[in-house]
Amino acid sequence: MQSGLKSLDFFTDSYNSRIVQLNEERAKGIRVIGTFCLYVPDEIIFAAGADRIVLCGGRPDTIPVAEQSLPRNICPLIKSSFGAIVDMCCGGDLACPHVALVDLVVAEATCDGKKKMYEILPDFLLTYVIDLPQKPDSPKASEYFLSELWKFAKILENLTGREVTDGSLREEIRLSNETKRLLHRFFELRKRDPPPITGSDVLRVMQKQFFLAPAQFREGVSRLCDEMERVIPDACTGPRIMISGCPMAAGNTKVTDVIEEKGATIVVEESCTGTRSFWDFVDEGPDPWNALAERYLAIPCACMTPNDRRIARIVDLAKEYKVDGVVYYTLQFCHAYNIERLRVQKALKKEKIPMLAIESDYGDSDVEQIGIRVDAFLEMIE
């Protein structure tokens, strides 16, 4: 479903210009970092004078390449991303051109599937892994994560030859908070009833957050917000739905599209391609390193335990955005989010908020089955 907002064109058309930009940067000696996860602070990358693109794959066509080396029963995001890199390194033409522009992958010890994939990745691309304490509220967890961030900064400094100073880091924090503030403004507008933009359009914008240069992205979102403030919404009707769960990487819009084709409108996403990336700000006080460690370790991902923060966030968002129901979306074989579903379900039940769980891969074979579940869910909450 499309909202008909003209400012959205920028996001659809921006791929090629960004590729040109990245190529020009590389010609000038600027390094490009590829990442896979929100736990890797962009601020440090930019402060070291590098650029970054996120490499999470949402397309099904690179999966068969990955399955030549990886087990079939792991999540499609890991397979799709890995397959794109392998294909690109083996001279194939499946991967999007940006994959070939990466100098270093900075990965992170989150879920088992990714961790073990990162052990194979160095055969294809230079890879560095940041460790993550998985009980974020333990004493010293933040201190340890901070030491990991320092090590990571050193790696970058060696690569770019530019020191990450407190001053440059504070400036990057200020800029990234600006992006976050803008995204808060963007999401705030979706609280209107009816909302001025579809969830499918928002998803396509949010996916670009991980690809475009931050300044470009802010410009686009700012224009979009201005337009949204002017329009009288009429495109988006039906029940207000919240999505919660796994990321929907670029190329993956299946479930969102099905939900909105069935007549509902998605008004908020509790996911890496939704609120998780921008909800919390980084403290702009005198100690930028500690501020980063604390902010990033508090990201409510299901790889953390216990993850009460996420459960509370979901309930809060559901109320704040006045949703009629929650669709709990998981990637097939994503154990962390699949298991956490039960706790989320219980918390929502207590608040009398209906929830539908959908587990899916990147193929189209289950579009009809998902459609039946969504139809029934919408009839149920009407």
Provide the binding-site residues for other proteins, judged by CB under 8 A.
354, 359, 365-366, 368-369, 372-373, 375-376, 379-380
Q: State the nearest-atom distance from the C-beta of 351 to other proteins, in Å.
A: 14
Q: How many residues does the chain have?
A: 382
Q: State the nearest-atom distance from the C-beta of 381 to other proteins, in Å.
A: 9
Neighbours of 91 (CB within 10 A): 6
**Integer-rounded Cα radius of gyration of the chain:** 20
- String of DSSP letters for 35-99: E--TTS-HHHHHHTT-EEEE-----STTHHHHTTTS-SSS-HHHHHHHHHHHHHHTT-S-S-GGG
Using the minimum distance from each CB to other proteins, give the nearer residue, 182 or 331. 331
Q: State the nearest-atom distance from the C-beta of 335 to other proteins, in Å.
A: 15
Look up tokens 């969830």; give the residue.
199
Q: State the nearest-atom distance from the C-beta of 232 to other proteins, in Å.
A: 28
Using the minimum distance from each CB to other proteins, give the nearer residue, 33 or 348. 348
Q: State the nearest-atom distance from the C-beta of 367 to other proteins, in Å.
A: 11
Using the minimum distance from each CB to other proteins, give the nearer residue, 60 or 195. 60
Q: State the nearest-atom distance from the C-beta of 260 to other proteins, in Å.
A: 17
Using the minimum distance from each CB to other proteins, give the nearer residue, 148 or 359. 359
Using the minimum distance from each CB to other proteins, give the nearer residue, 183 or 356. 356
Distance CA 331, CA 348 (A): 21
Nearest to 56 by CA among 84, 92, 28: 84
Q: State the nearest-atom distance from the C-beta of 377 to other proteins, in Å.
A: 8
* Cα atoms found within 13 Å of the Cα of residue 46, Cβ hemisphere only: 17
Using the minimum distance from each CB to other proteins, give the nearer residue, 93 or 368. 368
Nearest to 207 by CA among 240, 252, 245, 244: 252
Check whether the bond before 306 is cis (ω within 30° of 0). yes
Using the minimum distance from each CB to other proteins, give the nearer residue, 283 or 366. 366
- Whether the CB-CB separation of 114 and 76 falls below 8 Å is answered with no
Q: State the nearest-atom distance from the C-beta of 187 to other proteins, in Å.
A: 29
- Whether the CB-CB separation of 39 and 152 falls below 8 Å is answered with no
Q: State the nearest-atom distance from the C-beta of 365 to other proteins, in Å.
A: 7
Nearest to 353 by CA among 330, 329, 374, 322: 322
User: ∠ CA 68-73-74 to the nearest 5 degrees?
Assistant: 90
Using the minimum distance from each CB to other proteins, give the nearer residue, 224 or 358. 358
Using the minimum distance from each CB to other proteins, give the nearer residue, 23 or 332. 332
Structure tokens belonging to residue 142: 């933040």
Q: State the nearest-atom distance from the C-beta of 374 to other proteins, in Å.
A: 9
First to last CA, the chain: 20
Using the minimum distance from each CB to other proteins, give the nearer residue, 133 or 354. 354
- The answer for residues whose C-beta is within 8 angstroms of residue 240's C-beta and 6 or more apart is 193, 195, 264, 265, 267, 321, 322, 323, 324
Distance CA 144, CA 288 (A): 16
